[in-house]
């Protein structure tokens, strides 16, 4: 494991107190050179960039750099490997069976052709309260793709609406892990934090999701591409199928409902009854994302097999193709996360956080700056929240507004500017079928707006309704 005082191979870059910043700079230059200039595969580029950060960082023993990256990659794969692979099956099965198309048609009949983005936005906003953002994106991406295939436009809007809405509630509203930890760290009231999180989060999501989504959608037309084991032709073929030949609405929604209900049950039990509650062992088993997504994938696959006229061998081959696509996505996502871990291990986040702590601004703005700085350099929103909460906890008693606003400020900062070192960037790019440039123009800008508008919303509401 990484030791801050370990022996290391000295280099010119590993001298002086600003070595963490040099490691960060080396990582950024490497990733831009490999990904943007040389156009190497994302996985290869991220691995090499991670090695470069480790070589430059004095806190990582030179001989252990490859092993440290591999450990971080393995830890990342352990967290997202099975969910992403199962998400690939869900996406393939929901498209091929017509389930995704049926849900889109249901939304259209309920809200109208011109309001599909409202349906996707609302679904993502509320689903991401109990369910991790990445799992929500896995479930809603097939719907966004089907909606784009059916309408022939607005894919940029759909992606931004789903992404921004999910990020906001994931970062602002307990009981997702980051905000929940901050609540416990500050001794804030959980119910008040949930209410304030929704109050601050809704305008933030509207600005960064629908507001920016409408604006960028008029300027950037993202085409449909083959992704998640499904081709554009397969999506288009589903549009010609009559509704009577598609699965029912409940059966179509079942994979999403199963995943959300299972995870939500576990979240609710641990939040309100505690991890030691008798039922927690049961909900903990069924609510684990690895199992919940597996159950959802099996429900989607059963519908696919029932609605298709293919034999069992062909059915197995189709799912295997989906898993191949999912494996590539999982590898890239885990490598992106590991790149962020190496930057964190280099101490760049702590260096920036300690520097910003001395700025002397108000507590809410200071907390935002620290969280945004940590998020920007190491990628993980949860790590940014945890780090900032620990720094701000001794100062929280000096706040003259409800402590929940401090949680909001940190959540806004921790959501700021997702780029190459964030696994979420690669999830959106690969599962959404976007290019790097398209992901930067949509996802990265949207998360930047979330950080800024989230801080402004926090400051405005804390002035109007301090609730101290």
SS3 labels along 232-269: HHHHHHHCCCCHHHCCCHHHHHHHHHHHHHHHHHHHHH
Q: What is the pLDDT of residue 435?
A: 95
Model confidence at 465, pLDDT cuts 50, 70, 90, reads very high
Q: What is the pLDDT of residues 320-378, one digit of tens each?
A: 998 988 898 889 988 988 888 898 888 887 777 777 766 656 889 989 998 998 898 88
Q: What is the pLDDT of residues 225-235, one digit of tens each?
A: 988 777 888 88
Which of 15-19, 217-221, 372-376, 384-388 is predicted most confidently? 217-221
Give CA–CA dist 153/160, Å, rounded.
14
Residue identified by tokens 């959802």 is 296
Model confidence at 71, pLDDT cuts 50, 70, 90, reads very high
Give CA–CA dist 266/186, Å, rounded.
24
Reply yes or no: is the peptide bond before residue 175 cis, omega within 30 of 0.
yes
Are 104 and 232 in contact by the 8 Å Cβ rule? The answer is no
- What mean pLDDT value characterizes the chain? 88
Please name the residues in contact with 311: beta carbons below 8 A apart, sequence gap of 6 or more.
Answer: none
Residue of 203, 179, 178 lying closest to 190 (CA atoms): 179
Residue 60, Ramachandran bin (φ over 0: left; ψ between -120 and 50: alpha; else beta)? beta
Model confidence at 441, pLDDT cuts 50, 70, 90, reads very high
Please name the residues in contact with 396: beta carbons below 8 A apart, sequence gap of 6 or more.
Answer: 186, 187, 363, 403, 406
Q: What is the pLDDT of residue 1?
A: 35
Q: Which of 60-74, 280-294, 383-397 has the lowest mean pLDDT?
A: 383-397
Q: What is the pLDDT of residue 3?
A: 38
pLDDT at 199 over 90: yes
Give CA–CA dist 181/173, Å, rounded.
11
Beta partners for residue 227, in sequence order = 230
Q: What is the pLDDT of residue 258?
A: 92
Give CA–CA dist 117/103, Å, rounded.
13
Q: For residue 304, what are its two tokens?
A: 């696919």
Q: What share of the chain is helix, strand, coil (3-state, %, to 5)?
A: 80, 0, 20
Q: What is the pLDDT of residues 297-319, one digit of tens each?
A: 999 999 999 998 889 999 999 99
C-alpha torsion sign, points 341, 346, 347, 351:
negative
Model confidence at 237, pLDDT cuts 50, 70, 90, reads confident
Q: What is the pLDDT of residues 388-436, one digit of tens each?
A: 888 888 888 878 899 999 999 999 999 999 999 898 999 999 999 999 9
Q: For residue 451, what are its two tokens?
A: 């950080």
């Amino acid at each position: 494991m990484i030791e801050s005082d370990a022996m290391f191979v000295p280099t010119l870059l590993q001298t002086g107190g600003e070595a963490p910043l040099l490691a960060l700079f080396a990582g950024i230059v490497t990733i831009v050179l490999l990904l943007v200039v040389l156009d190497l595969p994302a996985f290869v580029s991220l691995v090499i960039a991670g090695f470069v950060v480790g070589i430059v960082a004095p806190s990582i023993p030179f001989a252990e750099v490859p092993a440290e990256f591999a450990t971080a990659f393995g830890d990342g794969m352990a967290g997202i490997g099975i969910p992403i692979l199962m998400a690939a099956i869900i996406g393939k099965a929901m498209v091929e069976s017509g389930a995704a198309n049926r849900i889109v048609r249901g939304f259209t009949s309920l809200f109208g052709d011109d309001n599909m983005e409202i349906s996707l936005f609302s679904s993502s906003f509320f689903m991401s309260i109990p369910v991790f953002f990445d799992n929500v994106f896995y479930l809603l991406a097939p719907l966004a793709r089907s909606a784009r295939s059916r309408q022939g436009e607005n894919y940029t809007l759909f992606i931004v609406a789903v992404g921004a809405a999910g990020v906001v509630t994931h970062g602002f509203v307990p009981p997702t892990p980051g905000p929940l930890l901050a609540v416990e760290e500050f001794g804030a009231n959980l119910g008040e934090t949930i209410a304030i999180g929704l109050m601050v989060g809704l305008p933030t999501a509207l600005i960064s999701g629908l507001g920016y989504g409408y604006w960028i959608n008029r300027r950037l037309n993202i085409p449909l591409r083959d992704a998640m084991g499904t081709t554009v032709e397969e999506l288009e073929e589903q549009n010609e199928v009559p509704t009577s030949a598609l699965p029912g609405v409940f059966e179509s929604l079942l994979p999403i409902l199963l995943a959300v209900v299972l995870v939500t049950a576990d979240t609710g039990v641990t939040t309100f009854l505690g991890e030691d509650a008798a039922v927690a062992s049961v909900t903990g088993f069924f609510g684990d994302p690895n199992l919940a997504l597996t159950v959802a994938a099996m429900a989607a696959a059963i519908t696919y097999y029932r609605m298709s006229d293919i034999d069992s061998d062909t059915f197995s081959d189709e799912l295997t193709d989906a898993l191949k696509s999912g494996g590539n996505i999982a590898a890239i996502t885990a490598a992106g996360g590991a790149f962020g871990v190496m930057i964190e291990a280099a101490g760049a986040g702590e260096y920036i956080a300690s520097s910003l702590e001395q700025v002397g601004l108000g507590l809410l703005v200071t907390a935002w700056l620290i969280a945004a700085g940590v998020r920007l350099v190491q990628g993980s929103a949860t790590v940014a929240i945890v780090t900032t909460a620990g720094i701000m906890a001794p100062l929280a008693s000096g706040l003259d507004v409800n402590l929940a606003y401090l949680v909001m400020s940190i959540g806004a900062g921790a959501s700021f500017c997702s780029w190459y070192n964030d696994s979420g960037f690669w999830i959106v790019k690969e599962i959404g079928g976007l290019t790097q440039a398209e992901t930067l123009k949509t996802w990265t800008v949207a998360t930047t707006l979330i950080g800024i508008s989230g801080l402004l919303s926090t400051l405005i509401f804390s002035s109007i309704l301090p609730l101290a």
